[in-house]
């Protein structure tokens, strides 16, 4: 009998050791009540293949606004498929804009390129206001998340935690210490890992994502025998104990 109880006690200890606690679910762990974070000055810089929407608002009379005439005449079509009126950054690093000509875009941030196009537009329009967006900025989030899939991003300065929130956060079985990022750089795939439990991750350049990144959350190693809360472990132990006692009576 003592031997059997020892076996049951061992099983009970194993159940608790495999429980996933609240600590395991934390991001950016720190014991300090006040943490000073360095200013992250990351700004996404445009690259070849980025598809840019260009909007120019102006006080110029409509009949003389040659840049926006084509856009307004196809407004319904543009709403259905915005890719039809975007401008791609070509291999030479330039945007080819109607009437405004070729504009170097590669290597600039969106705000910098807005100012460049505005200076060119001043020669044609009165008080132009330029607004740019990246149309084909997408992230793919896979693995131990609640809603895996591909998501379109409006703000190009997006970090991993924001991306995970789009996918409904990690499941309790997601490995927060080793999140895999797959990135295509200069036609080569680059793979690196980010530990989201360390406070230092907030100052890591890899904390920020780029267009077409793939974020993969691997399961923790103990997923196949882990229990995500203590109450489930106790319930399972009591059920096992009850069955054992019924059999041994």
CATH code for the part of the protein at 51-134: 3.30.1950.10
Q: Judge whether 208 and 159 are in contact, CB under 8 Å.
A: yes
CATH code for the part of the protein at 27-36+137-224: 3.10.560.10
- Sign of the Cα torsion 222, 225, 228, 229 reads negative
> Domain limits of the chain?
2-19+228-244, 27-36+137-224, 51-134
The span from the CA of 208 to the CA of 163, in Å, is 10
Q: What is the pLDDT of residues 131-171, one digit of tens each?
A: 998 999 999 999 999 999 999 998 888 999 999 999 999 99
Helix (H, G, I), strand (E, B) or coil at 246: helix
Q: What is the pLDDT of residues 90-141, one digit of tens each?
A: 999 999 988 889 999 999 999 999 999 999 989 888 888 899 989 999 999 9
Q: What is the pTM of this model?
A: 0.71
């Amino acid at each position: 009998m003592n031997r059997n109880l020892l076996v049951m006690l061992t099983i009970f200890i194993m159940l608790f050791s495999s429980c996933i606690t609240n600590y395991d679910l934390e991001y950016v762990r720190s014991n300090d009540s006040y943490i000073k974070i360095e200013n992250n000055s990351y700004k996404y810089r445009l690259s070849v293949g980025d598809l840019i929407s260009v909007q120019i608002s102006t006080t110029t009379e409509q009949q003389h606004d040659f840049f926006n005439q084509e856009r307004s005449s196809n407004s319904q079509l543009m709403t259905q498929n915005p890719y039809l009126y975007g401008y791609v950054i070509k291999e030479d690093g330039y945007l080819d804009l109607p009437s405004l000509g070729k504009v170097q875009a590669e290597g600039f941030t969106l705000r910098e390129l807005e100012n460049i196009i505005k200076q060119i537009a001043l020669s044609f329009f009165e008080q132009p206001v330029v607004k740019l967006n990246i149309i084909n900025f997408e992230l793919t989030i896979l693995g131990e998340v609640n809603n895996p899939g591909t998501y379109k991003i409006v703000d190009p300065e997006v970090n991993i935690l924001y991306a995970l929130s789009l996918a409904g956060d990690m499941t309790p079985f997601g490995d927060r210490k080793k999140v895999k990022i797959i990135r295509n750089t200069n036609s080569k795939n680059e793979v690196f890992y980010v530990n989201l439990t360390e406070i230092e991750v907030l100052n890591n350049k890899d904390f920020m994502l780029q267009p077409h990144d793939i974020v993969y959350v691997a399961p923790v190693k103990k997923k196949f025998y882990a229990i995500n809360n203590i109450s489930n472990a106790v319930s399972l132990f009591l059920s096992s104990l009850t069955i054992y006692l019924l059999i041994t009576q």
